[in-house]
Amino acid sequence: MFVLGLQGSPRIKGNTSILLSTFLAEAERIGAHTRSISVAHGHISPCEECGTCEKEGFCPIDDDMRQIYPLLRQADIVVMATPIFFYGPTAQMKALIDRSQTLWARRYVHKIVDPGRKWRHGFLLSLGATKGKNLFDGVSLTAKYFFDAVGAGFAEKDSLTYRRIEGPGEIAKHPTALEDAREKARVLVTPFLKRKKILFVCTENACRSQMASAFARYHGGDRIEAESAGSEPAQAVNPFMEEVMRERGIDMAFCKPKSIEEATRHGKPALVISMGCEKACPVFPGAAYQEWSVSDPGGKQIEVMRKIREEVEQRVRRLTAAI
């Protein structure tokens, strides 16, 4: 499982960074794959309110958000960590949040959802220098709508927020903060670690295995950690695959073909389902194997892709019902 941390403080080793790092270290210790993004030190331009995301479903600005959008979709848990600046998140974090309008538009305007939406969790870590009663009201409300846009459930009561934290390293002197972060990591991550890891493999990872992985997450993401890969991955997914999945209401826009090595770098599967990779299908000691005889729709008309979509979803439904 994958935990994505968004570190919004301009201070690289400040209190926010210490608290987020503590959370992520504990998550990794118990078995999660984690990644932290220092939002303030990347290149994220503010939203230009051009309206392209609502009209076309994508953001035309070419910056680091091109890499962050797929990570937000891949993550099982998204952690927003920010100090309080004028009762809200930092300007750098706010730029990332505003640019998530693209994901909001894909769901609410274009009526397509990412397959992991039902299971993803959002979590807020925040620190403030003062002791005001309403210190975290603004950032909590912003977090609520940010997590809704990126497709993550959010419970404000579960957030970790700390007042009167300002000087270098002060969070480490707090009597409970670091252990609070570790405990929260254990509580949030542990249920995901109980899921069965399934790897769907085809040749190019451009059609069949992508659809199977998406349907597995959509129908059984609480029980299945689904991944897909190709023995000879293509440069991009098949546009017909994107289109027919969109007809089904499932968003595949940020999916990219992966190699078997890349897909299994952070954990080996318990079940491998081959969808035409034949002799190139990987061997993982202890894993179970299934062969699904699903025709390769690559290079064929979109009607063929629709039939493959229906067949793959039926197979995945039977699979998830049995787990």
What dihedral angle (degrees, nearest 10) is formed by the CA atoms of 30, 33, 38, 42?
A: 180
R_g over Cα of the chain: 21
Q: Is the pLDDT of residue 280 over 90?
A: no
Is residue 272 within 8 A of residue 201, CB to CB? The reply is yes
Model pLDDT for residues 293-302, shown as the tens digit of each residue: 998 888 889 9
Query: CATH topology of 2-192 equal to that of 195-321?
Result: yes
Q: What is the pLDDT of residue 323?
A: 86
Q: What is the pLDDT of residue 143?
A: 98
What phi, psi does 298 have (nearest 5°)? Answer: -60, 130
The rounded distance, in Å, linking the Cα atoms of 298 and 207 is: 7
Token pair, residue 135, equals: 């210190």
The rounded distance, in Å, linking the Cα atoms of 202 and 237 is: 12
The CATH H-level (homologous superfamily) assignment of domain 195-321 is Response regulator (3.40.50.2300)
Model pLDDT for residues 203-256, shown as the tens digit of each residue: 999 999 999 999 999 999 889 999 999 999 999 999 999 999 999 999 999 999
Paired strand residues for 126: 82, 161
Q: What is the pLDDT of residue 298?
A: 82
The rounded distance, in Å, linking the Cα atoms of 72 and 74 is: 6
Would you kindly state where each structural domain of the chain is located, as residue ranges? 2-192, 195-321
Q: What is the third-level CATH fold of 2-192?
A: Rossmann fold (3.40.50)
Model pLDDT for residues 128-145, shown as the tens digit of each residue: 999 999 999 999 999 999
Sole residue written with tokens 């542990």:
190
What phi, psi does 160 have (nearest 5°)? Answer: -110, 115
